[in-house]
Structure 1
Amino acid sequence: MILNLYAFLNYQMPQPTDVLLQIEAAEQPDQILHSANINLSLTNAFARVPAEHGIGERIWMQVEGDFYCTYQATLEITRDVPDLSALKATDLHALPGEAVRYLMPSRYCPSDEFYNFVSTEFGDTSGGPRIAAICDWIASRVNYVPGSSTTQTTAVHTFVQRQGICRDFAHVLISLARASGIPARFVSVYAPAVTPQDFHAVAEVYLNGDWHLIDPTGMAKADEMARIGVGLDAADVAFMNSFNPVQLIAQTVNVTTG
């Protein structure tokens, strides 16, 4: 599948501000970039650095005044999507080093708070069937409500309030997977069916010796997503971190196919 990506950001920076930007789709074996271009307004400093786990890049900038950024890319998704119910859990003692950190609790995914819940609710499942059961539970009990959460909302808050946006759905899935002994990580993506169009958040789980993309909101399919970056939770993969106050002027994301 061919995806055409477009993102436009416009922010006002009242004072010199260090900014960490991550909006470019990552070049990976299962998503091949055919073209990519990013245009930025004038910066006082600019440097590219590797993103988490070496997936994608971040851009360090120092900017002041009217900041704008336009990103356009075309890429091809070549990802195989196996049957989730057929995927087996990897024994913990057989996990590669790269997966171990994604078993641990993190700021937005306090998975240690859910051990008793997953044992009681999903105790007769494991591996892919456990993840499928968790996704079904989220779909039936958590409502997608734009504006219902903040940057302080954790998986525990979403679990209690039973509402959230894409990042909250991802945090709940990640937390319940980690509590089940399945490595899980947060993934920022572009996807064409996301409504309204925006940077999207999903999860990846480590099963049967590999990582597998899953969208607990149900809006995006694994073979229609373009990864931007991965991390323990949303704190690792924000599309933009600013280290002084900034004002949003405009922001647009558009993803089309073909």
Structure 2
Amino acid sequence: MPITIDASFAFEVDSPTDALLQFEAVASDGQTILASKTHLNGAETFNRVPAHDAIGERIWLHANRRIEVTYSAEIEISREFANLEKLSALALHQLPGEAVQYLLESRYCAAEKFHDFADREFAGTMGGARVSAIRDWIEQHLTYAPGASGPYTDAGDTFIARQGVCRDYAHVLITLARASGIPARYVACYSPGVSPPDFHAVAEVFLADPEHEEGGKWHLVDGTGMASPRDIVKIGVGRDAADVSFLTSFGPSSFEYSSVRVEETA
């Protein structure tokens, strides 16, 4: 079933400033772009560059005034997904190079601090069963609370506060998965199940590929429970939110608004 996306946001700068944007759905396995239109009002320059891991694109802007971005797209989702709890983990020495960076600490995910907690809290679980247990723990212990966190909130802060938004849920899931020896990365996305409607964030974990006996594959997991792999539209991936923000300004700027509408269409 196709998914339609209508998104817009605006920001203003007081002096010439560069900004990096990432908000367009990516063409990838299991995700086909049927139609797409992007309009940027007020940009002096416009330059596309590959995004993290060459998944999707970022847009460089040089701005000297108000910038307004509008984006619309129609996406067909056809990805296959497996029963998470039945997936095994790969031995660390069998991991491909692309997955290694997602075992390591990053700006918002200090996994090394959580090794003891993960071993104790999720003892007796491995692989997909461990990830499922982590997701269940997050559901039981975190409260979804818009405004409870900010741009500098990391997984440790959220773990202590026990509240946050999708970004924070993803960071905690990623951190606890990495602490368990499972590569995990941050996914910026759209989904029709998000309430209130907004840019969304989920995690991907690298576990066994059920279709290839010795291979591995990335599997989507939403700590908030609002989105399913069936309806997640990926924008990009990264080590954490710092790698895949929809707006990164390299100078003073004032954010005005964002609006996101995502719907399934017959």
TM-score bracket relative to the smaller structure: over 0.9
Residue 42 of structure 2 contacts residue 66 of structure 2 at CA under 8 Å; is this kept in 1?
no
Whole-Å separation in 2 of the counterparts to 1:133 and 1:148: 24
Poorly superposed stretches of 4+, deviation over 6 Å: none
In structure 1, stretches of 5+ residues that fail to align are none
1:213 to 2:236 alignment: no
Cα deviation for residue 63 of structure 1 reads 1.1
Whole-Å separation in 2 of the counterparts to 1:64 and 1:72: 25
Q: Secondary structure at the match of 1:68?
A: strand
1:230 to 2:237 alignment: yes
Partner of 1:198: 198
Whole-Å separation in 1 of the counterparts to 2:198 and 2:181: 31
Following superposition of structure 1 onto structure 2, how do residues 131-146 of structure 1 map, counting pairs within 5 Å? 131-146=131-146
Following superposition of structure 1 onto structure 2, how do residues 1-258 of structure 1 map, counting pairs within 5 Å? 1-208=1-208, 209-258=216-265
Cα deviation for residue 65 of structure 1 reads 1.3
Partner of 2:212: none
Whole-Å separation in 1 of the counterparts to 2:66 and 2:223: 36
For these two proteins, the number of residue pairs brought into alignment is 258
Cα deviation for residue 45 of structure 1 reads 1.8
Q: Which moved more, 1:240-249 or 1:200-209?
A: 240-249
Q: Deviations over 1:207-247 (max 9, x none)?
A: 00100011000010111000000000000010010112212
Cα deviation for residue 12 of structure 1 reads 1.7
**Which residue identity lines up with residue 238 of structure 2 in the other structure?**
G
CA RMSD of aligned residues (A): 0.8
Cα deviation for residue 42 of structure 1 reads 3.3
In structure 2, stretches of 5+ residues that fail to align are 209-215
| Residue identity (%) | 49
Q: Deviations over 1:145-191 (max 9, x none)?
A: 11000111111111111111111000000000000000000000000
Whole-Å separation in 1 of the counterparts to 2:39 and 2:226: 29
**Which residue identity lines up with residue 50 of structure 1 in the other structure?**
P
Whole-Å separation in 1 of the counterparts to 2:117 and 2:34: 45
Cα deviation for residue 29 of structure 1 reads 1.5
Whole-Å separation in 2 of the counterparts to 1:214 and 1:11: 31
Whole-Å separation in 1 of the counterparts to 2:157 and 2:42: 40
Whole-Å separation in 1 of the counterparts to 2:201 and 2:191: 10
Q: Deviations over 1:92-131 (max 9, x none)?
A: 1110000000000111000000000011111211001000
Cα deviation for residue 249 of structure 1 reads 2.4
TM-score by length of 1: 0.98
Whole-Å separation in 1 of the counterparts to 2:119 and 2:191: 33
Q: Secondary structure at the match of 1:15?
A: coil
Whole-Å separation in 2 of the counterparts to 1:30 and 1:93: 28
Whole-Å separation in 1 of the counterparts to 2:6 and 2:83: 31
Cα deviation for residue 250 of structure 1 reads 2.5
Q: Secondary structure at the match of 2:182?
A: coil
Q: Secondary structure at the match of 1:135?
A: helix
**Which residue identity lines up with residue 240 of structure 1 in the other structure?**
L
Q: Deviations over 1:64-96 (max 9, x none)?
A: 212111101101000112111111101111100
Residue 206 of structure 2 contacts residue 218 of structure 2 at CA under 8 Å; is this kept in 1?
yes
**Which residue identity lines up with residue 179 of structure 1 in the other structure?**
A
Cα deviation for residue 43 of structure 1 reads 2.0
